Amino acid sequence: MKLLSIEKYLKKKNELVADEPGWKLYRDACIFVMLGLTSLLMSVVNFFTHKGAFTWVTLGFAVLCGIDLLLLRKRGKAATVAIILFSTEVSVLFIYFIISGIPDGFSVLWTAMLPCFGLLMFGLRNGTLFSLFMFLILAFFFWIPFGQSLLQYRYSPTFMMRFPILYFAFFVVALLLERMRDAANQALKESREKYEYLCYHDVLTGLYNRFWLQSILDHPEKYPIKPAAIAILDIDNFKYINDNFGHPNGDIVIRDIGQAILTTLNNSGDLCRWGGDEFLILFHTDIDAEKVCKRIVDAVRALQFDFDGEQLTTTVSVGLVTAENGGASEINALIRQVDKNLYLAKDEGKNCTVSTALNA
């Protein structure tokens, strides 16, 4: 059972990484939870070490992190409000840390975390602006006489000189790491998009492939169109073309016929390479599929190929099944009948369409 739960967790995490908006919400939620719990822990420490007002400040920040988390869970505008509130709360908290210096000048050291969290949460541009804003605040309080006069804790001159520089060094390191992470994420995104394209598309024709159709069969609820008809098209006498003109030229015939079908289809359905010299069409609702198939037969018959000066024309046979109340869940039943109609089209002399209605 434990292995199963880990497997489910990893699957869920991978789904989150693929879902960029969901991943951002998950990331921001983790930051809210971590900082909220840290502040809560520090509140307990402050209480037992009798730090007075500082206890209520850290406890208040922990509560605010919890409120931000609740807003984040609502998503949409509420999530945006949560980010704005959080950035404001963090800025006010760290200004208080700088001014108060409680305990013993330690709290100001927490500002070293800001570049890391700022760049992670707000991205390169906004995170850089946020981190530089906090650097200017540090410089104001530690390097400007008027700012120094506002401090309630007596920092040493060496600390006030060095700490903003140390903060800036943390920022530069965090910026470099964030740029590297951003570049890696972009490369990963491009690789994922390329993988998904190759996974669902035929290399030769650029059309959808059989795996794409299988994904619809496995998850019909994810297919947005209600297929009203299915057709399978088979290139006539394709073995003769391969035997007499060679397989490379046979590939050209498959590719060009696929493009001719796609052009004639004109977005009235989804086309995939069913396998070998066969193509399958999922027609969309309210389309006269039989009329479109006849246009496709005419378009293929009009194609002319020139292989080393020898002219070639070919045709396709089409099996078509219509379903008035069709749906993605009925595709398997439609395909079984389509296969029978395709064989009938071949028996009737090829270069034609044989159509029936399912359950008619």
Considering the candidates 68, 236, 270, 277, report the single residue annotated as catalytic.
Answer: 277
Which tokens hold the place of 177? 């790491």
Residues 6+ apart with CB under 8 A from 242: 250
CB atoms within 10 A of CB 159: 12
Residue 26 CB contacts under 8 Å (≥ 6 apart), including other chains:
16
Angle, alpha carbons 171-173-179 (nearest 5°): 100
CA 148 to each of CA 33, 156, 159: distance values in angstroms, whole numbers, following the listed order = 33, 11, 13
- Nearest of 288, 282, 287, 267 to residue 220 by alpha carbon: 282
Whole-angstrom Cα distance, residue 329 to residue 332?
8
Q: Which residue has the tokens 């039989």?
A: 290
Our CA dihedral for 193, 24, 16, 69, rounded to 10 degrees, sits at -170
- Whose CA is closest to 241, among 276, 283, 206, 289? 276
DSSP string computed for 287-316: --HHHHHHHHHHHHHH--EEETTEEE---E
Catalytic site includes residue 277: yes
3-state secondary structure of 153: coil
Q: Would you state the structure tokens that stand for residue 107, as one six-digit string?
A: 């709290």
CA 272 to chain centroid: 23
CA 318, distance to chain mean position in Å, is: 37
Residue 271, classed as helix, strand or coil, is strand
DSSP annotation string for 124-150: HHHHHHHHHHHHHHHHHHHHSHHHHHT
Query: 274 CB contacts (<8 Å, ≥6 apart)?
Result: 210, 213, 232, 280
> Residue 230: which of 146, 83, 342 has the closest Cα?
342
Q: Which residues are catalytic?
A: 277
